[in-house]
Homo-oligomer: A and B are copies of this chain.
Amino acid sequence: MVSQDMLRLGQQSSVIRAISEYGAARRAQIGAENVFDFSLGNPSIPAPEALTERLIRALQEEHPCRVHGYTSSAGDMGTRGAVCEHIERTFGFEADPKLVYMTCGAAASLTVAFHALLLEGEKVVVPAPFFPEYRVFVEKAGGVLCPVPSLEPSFQIDLDAMAAAIDEKTKIVLLNSPNNPTGAVYSRETLEKLCALLREKEKEYGTEIFLLADEPYRELCYGGASPAWLPSLYDRTLVAYSYSKSLSLPGERIGYLLVSPRMEKAAEVFAAVCGAGRSLGFVCAPSLWQLVLKDCQGMTSDVSEYERNRDTLFHSLSEMGYTVTPPDGAFYLFVKSLEEDAGAFCERAKKYELLLVPSDSFGVKGYVRIAYCTDPETIEKSLPAFRALYEEYRK
């Protein structure tokens, strides 16, 4: 008799993965060039050559015991220092290397934060739609996820709804901007109001509310959009970061969790983070990556291809008549389903070999997510299919 919760999680194939597996089967049947698979958020742009060169140099020139040895559990102090210098250069914010915990990627950044902060039954409030694994991570840490619908069609945060949802059991407000799945970048004005609201609620309930910024898409912004640096707006902020998207390294599992030095008892919060990492089995973040990223702060893959894909899809689909959320960041387009049931819409799209993800598992109904981290040719070739799908609904 194994753990039934873990068994259920292991047996549930995620909706996204199921569609992606259908795509693989379909490619085998009719050829990859005939399938328009927009299901997975797997970066399509290669890691920068300069990064590859730095990796090779580390392997050729440095002693293997230094390259592959344990770092301290929280990470190499040189790397943590470089992270802080980059943050200072970019946001004019003084971070503290002693409060940066290097992690095995964004998922680890999040689970470590949840296990460090949450007491049994405490709430994590998150604007919907949201990345479905949030629920899995929060519940494993003993917390309760409370999604709060966002404003449509902008998918900006609904401040009134947030005010109604935050109560005395709320320990964390979790934000993901640029957002998966909508591509929305929360406006600075909204975020300032939200932070003021959190301070009010803390006072009202005599509690501490932490802001947890999940920012793997921070560098993927288009048309001048730029996500605000939350630690400058709210003292009790933690930032979960990953190099998966900005450097196209999703399989390598490298990121960090930053505790703002401006929060009260920051050292204690950081110690709890270290304790959580230790107890979950994260001994240290991969050492080769820590070594190399010390010298590669601020480097990104050439994300201009994503921007071209986004422009093509956004303008073409809008022109055809689809309702599309303005996609300011990440590599997702959020489009209104042409019938109430987004699942049924996605099934119909399959007839045109269009593989889209219904929004239901992201906590909102009636939309589909289009992951446009794919080659531009696929985008171009998919347009007639999108048009035909739209025409079918007009009949």
Report A's interface with B, CB cutoff 8 A: 1-3, 5-11, 40, 42-47, 52, 55-56, 59-60, 63-65, 67-71, 104-105, 107-108, 110-112, 115-119, 133, 136-137, 139-140, 208, 248-253, 268-276, 278-290
Contact = CB atoms under 8 A, between A and B. Distances in A.
Nearest to A278: B9
Contacts of A104: 104, 253, 281-282, 286
B272 A68 contact: no
A251 B286 contact: yes
A252 B71 CA distance: 10
Contacts of A60: 52, 56
B59 A3 contact: no
Most buried by B among A69, A71, A137, A273: A69
* Interface-centre pick from A10, A45, A52 (highest chain B CB count, 10 A): A10
Nearest to A118: B3
A104 B287 CA distance: 12
22 contacts: A1-B119, A2-B269, A3-B116, A6-B115, A6-B272, A6-B275, A7-B275, A9-B276, A11-B275, A42-B70, A43-B69, A46-B63, A52-B60, A68-B249, A68-B251, A250-B283, A251-B286, A251-B290, A253-B285, A280-B281, A286-B286, A288-B288
B43 A65 contact: yes
Given A52-B59, A116-B2, A273-B10, A136 B68 contact: no
A356 to B, nearest CB: 19
Nearest to A43: B65
A99 B323 CA distance: 45
Nearest to A108: B281
A312 B111 CA distance: 45
A136 B59 contact: no
A351 to B, nearest CB: 28
Of A46, A116, A253, chain B has the most CB atoms within 10 Å of the CB of A253
Contacts of A68: 47, 248-252
B65 A284 contact: no
A108 B282 contact: yes
A69 to B, nearest CB: 5
Contact of A69 (B42, B108, B111, B117): B42
A135 to B, nearest CB: 10
A2 B60 CA distance: 44
A284 B55 contact: no
A289 B251 CA distance: 10
Nearest to A74: B10
Contacts of A287: 250-252
A251 B72 CA distance: 9
A294 B352 CA distance: 38
Q: Determine which residue in A40, A60, A105, A112 has the highest number of CB atoms from chain B within 10 A of its CB, and name it.
A: A105
A45 B64 CA distance: 9
A64 B42 contact: no
Given A110-B281, A283-B253, A10 B65 contact: no
Chain B CB within 10 Å, residue with most, of A6, A42, A56, A252: A6
Given A6-B115, A105-B281, A253-B286, 19 more contacts: A2-B116, A3-B119, A3-B275, A3-B276, A6-B275, A6-B276, A9-B279, A10-B272, A42-B69, A46-B63, A47-B68, A52-B59, A68-B250, A107-B281, A107-B282, A107-B283, A111-B280, A136-B279, A286-B289
